[in-house]
Amino acid sequence: MNTTHSRPTVAVLGIGMMGLPMARRLCQAGFSVHAWNRSRSKAERLLPLGAQVHDTPAQAVAQADLVITLLEDGDIVGDVLFQQGTTQGLRAGALVVDMSSIQPRQARDHAARLATIGVMHLDAPVSGGTVGAEAGTLAIMVGGKASDFERAMPVFGVFGRATHVGPHGAGQLAKLANQMIVGITIGAVAEALLLCERGGADMAKVKQAITGGFADSRILQVHGQRMVDATSPSAARWRCSSRTCATR
């Protein structure tokens, strides 16, 4: 393995809202980072931190022990890996860690196709958003072989807390479960607070009253506060002064 100070050389494909802060953390942690993005200018934001920026994904992965993909969806991941020459650039024994959110069947397919050329694969979607990416507090749900999970732990540790949840595709299943719980809970918080407001209760006081109880959650605190703020008198005045309100 090619290492710098016992750290794997890492390629990051996709320097967007999540890719930028995550690649930045790798640079700051002392990893040798090779970056590629479809719009090169986005990847060049990492140059002051010592990252090397490449014109193609194949060039970016040529020296990498571990390749991270942070792309929009499964079709784009497949295109970058198998249609843009990336597989030709990968070294045998490299580990591809797909941290995009894609379909479980696509993750399994990518793992099988990479295995035919001697490249390992993990699907490792994350939860925590850009705030978690910047702070290194992401929840990382990982599917694949346990040995590959252990191999990737030095990198996962830079991003947050990683859990091996099962074979290839299991990480994406865990992310689906995460999204189901988040979506349902946001809906429940919205309905509950709206019910209280329409019944004459102070929404902010209701949120305060149930904080610390069994109904408390990060969603109540973050999304619930946004709902409170959106219904405050100042927010109502702002909405009524907008062009949309003025033209109704």
Instruction: For residue 118, give the CATH number of its domain.
Output: 3.40.50.720
**218 and 129 part of one domain:** no
Span 188-232, pLDDT tens digits:
999 999 999 999 999 999 999 999 999 999 999 999 999 999 977
Domain of residue 226, residue span: 175-246
Last residue in a domain, options 167, 197, 223: 167
**224 and 205 part of one domain:** yes
Judge whether 85 and 65 are in contact, CB under 8 Å.
Answer: no
Please state the φ and ψ torsions of residue 179, each to the nearest 5 degrees: -70, -35
What predicted TM-score, i.e. pTM, was given to this entire model? 0.86
Q: In a 3-state reduction of DSSP, which class is residue 25?
A: helix
**7 and 118 part of one domain:** yes
**154 and 187 part of one domain:** no
What percent of the chain is predicted at pLDDT more than 70? 91
pLDDT of res. 198:
95
Last residue in a domain, options 167, 197, 226: 167
**49 and 149 part of one domain:** yes
Q: Which helix (H) or strand (E) holds 68?
A: strand 66-69
d(CA 31, CA 217): 35
Pick from 41, 34, 42: nearest CA to 15:
42
d(CA 188, CA 198): 15
CATH code assigned at 233:
1.10.1040.10
Give catalytic status of residue 145 as yes or no: no
Pick from 177, 150, 176: nearest CA to 164:
150
**71 and 194 part of one domain:** no
Angle separating helix axes 170-198 and 203-210, nearest 10 degrees? 130
**212 and 119 part of one domain:** no
d(CA 139, CA 204): 29
**147 and 181 part of one domain:** no
**146 and 204 part of one domain:** no
d(CA 92, CA 157): 24
**61 and 134 part of one domain:** yes
Q: Residue 120: what residue type? A: M
- The active-site residue out of 42, 145, 175, 207 is 175
**99 and 54 part of one domain:** yes
Span 90-112, pLDDT tens digits:
999 999 999 999 999 999 999 99
